[in-house]
């Protein structure tokens, strides 16, 4: 019996047996990848992909939607916590076990549609008020280029900050900008695209190797099939292009 217990411990399965359904997947309001639907449930492209992958792997997790900085920090510091949909950066790399990619995000700079600005690159943001939000990889990347960024508590606040003329430019994922602008009925103009990145599930190193291996295997199998349907009726759809 002791040999069997030792084998389960080495495989990472003993923690799963003893702890039960304690793995937590944190996320934020970042459509179309993750958001609360009309029924108050965590939904979105990445969420549905993870739910289906968990089921296929015979695993379970609790999904929670939080402000991004808290969702990220909990996954960084708390055992058995993960966070998605997050960018795999050099700074974040050593702190997590990475599962994915789940989706691809296209980073771009946006202004209000009636802005007089005509921009082609990050270099041209010099001297402008650039908006992002706390712990966001897009804003962090822009800051690394030597440009100051005005940080909000949450991504959706940047729509209101643009409308109130508190910021000149918003740097964010293009898919998310489309959805948030449509929801707020605000016309945006995409000034330029500057990067494309994959989004992942990032897990605290305490998440068992067995859990990670099974989830990775099921995800790989699933992604070999049909791509997720981004027009799924539960996903909020933009009513117009952001640069309309």
Distances in Å between the alpha carbon of 78 and those of 22, 73, 95, 146?
A: 12, 8, 12, 32
Q: Note the pLDDT of residue 174.
A: 96
Structure tokens at 171: 């740097």
Instruction: Evaluate if residue 46 carries a pLDDT over 70.
Output: yes
- Reported as a single tens digit per residue, the pLDDT across 204-216 is 999 999 999 999 9
Say what the pTM is. Answer: 0.79
Strand 169-173, strand 130-133: pairing: parallel
Return the pLDDT at 2. 73
Beta bridge partners of 36: 42
8 Å CB contact between 101 and 227: no
pLDDT tens for 106-117 read 999 999 999 999
Query: Which domains are delineated in the chain?
Result: 2-104+198-223 (3.40.190.10), 106-197 (3.40.190.10)
């Amino acid at each position: 019996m002791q040999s069997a217990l030792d084998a389960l411990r080495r495989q990472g399965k003993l923690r799963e047996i003893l702890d039960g359904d304690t793995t937590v997947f944190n996320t934020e309001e970042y459509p179309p990848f993750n958001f609360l639907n009309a029924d108050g449930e965590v939904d979105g492209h990445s969420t549905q992909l993870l739910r289906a992958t968990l089921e296929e792997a015979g695993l379970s997790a609790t999904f929670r939607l939080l402000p991004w900085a808290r969702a990220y920090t909990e996954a960084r510091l708390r055992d058995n916590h993960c966070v998605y949909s997050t960018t795999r950066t050099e700074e974040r790399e050593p702190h997590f076990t990475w599962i994915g990619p789940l989706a691809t995000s296209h980073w771009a700079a946006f202004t209000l549609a009636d802005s007089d600005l005509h921009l082609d690159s990050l270099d041209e943001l010099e001297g402008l008020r650039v908006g992002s939000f706390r712990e966001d990889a897009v804003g962090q990347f822009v800051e690394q280029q030597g440009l100051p960024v005005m940080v909000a508590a949450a991504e959706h606040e940047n729509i209101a900050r643009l409308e109130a003329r508190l910021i000149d430019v918003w740097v964010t994922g293009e898919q998310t900008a489309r959805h948030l602008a449509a929801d707020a009925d605000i016309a945006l103009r995409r000034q330029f695209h500057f990067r494309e990145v994959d989004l992942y599930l990032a897990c605290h190193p305490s998440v068992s190797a067995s859990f990670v291996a099974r989830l990775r295997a099921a995800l790989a199998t699933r992604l070999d099939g049909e791509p997720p349907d981004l027009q799924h009726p539960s996903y909020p759809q933009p009513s117009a292009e952001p640069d309309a």
